[in-house]
Chains A and B, each alone.
Chain A
Amino acid sequence: MKQERADQIPHIHQDATENGHAAALPATDALAIRYTELPEAKAGEPLAEEWNTYRREIGRLLAEGQQGRHVVINGSEIIGIYDSWEKARQAGLKRFHLEPFFVHSIRDREPYLHIRGLNLPCPS
């Protein structure tokens, strides 16, 4: 009986497809947060001042055509803008060693980071 039911399943799926029950699903675009909607960092959070400086300056940087480049920020000061992440990190490490500094890709949308533990919490 159980085997008979299992044998029916492929046919049921095929019939659904052939009889037009399979609707086209919406495309799965890469989701992102627009730069104007970035949340503000609260005092005490890591790199809060740098993140809020980035939020304040990102519109101007994009208007200047800096999209795709990489900014180094320390406190409220933009230290430099570089062509690659590696060059930005190296410049920051040379100046600050292991003291925290902020490197970020200049972009109009922050892509979502899908983490199963973070994005799929237990609904209970």
Chain B
Amino acid sequence: MPQLTFPVTPAGLVVPTWIGLSGTATSALVASGQPITPPVQARGLLDTGSDVTVVASSLLKRLAIPIATVTATHTVAGQVKVNLFEISLAITEPAQPGSPWLTEPDLLIMELTTVLPDVDVLIGLDVLLRNKLLLDGPGGLFKLEF
């Protein structure tokens, strides 16, 4: 089973992440002969407190990913509307050549309109529940198995 091992950092469970057009959108663009925007690297943070993966607005704009749908959710301020986008997401360890890639080709994510200082992507339970996350607190390491 492929696995990736990372150190626990002061920022948390940080993983090098790539964001790109979804597999479905890429196929449609290829079929119509249109150019494909390459994925961009981002700062990902594993977040078991989030149901859904969240991506910074700036990244979505940079990739020109079109909005897929909107929905409503609830905050302490009452109901709010949120924007959802379909993307592809990949995680690997670029410092170790030949590392495996954990890839989600078609992932429905929520736009993060608030700017977080050290994170571009919160990787939520929608991704984590499809994989194994092993946290070795005393050892200062965590492992993704997929």
Residues of A within 8 A of B (CB): 31, 33, 37-39, 41, 45-47, 50-51, 85-86, 89-90, 93-94, 97-104, 110-121
Contacts and interface: CB of A to CB of B under 8 A. Distances in A.
Nearest to B24: A89
Given A97-B28, A98-B29, A39 B72 contact: yes
B90 interface: no
Contacts, number: 107
Interface residues of B, number: 39
The list of the 4 closest CB pairs from A to B, nearest first, reads A93-B28, A116-B49, A113-B73, A114-B51
Contact of B81 (A41, A97, A114, A115): A41
Given A39-B79, A51-B81, A112 B73 contact: yes
B47 interface: yes
B25 interface: yes
Nearest to A38: B72
Contacts of B81: 39, 41, 45, 51
Contacts of B32: 97
Contacts of A114: 49-52
A31 B75 CA distance: 12
B9 interface: no
B96 interface: no
Interface in B1-45: 22, 24-25, 28-29, 32, 34
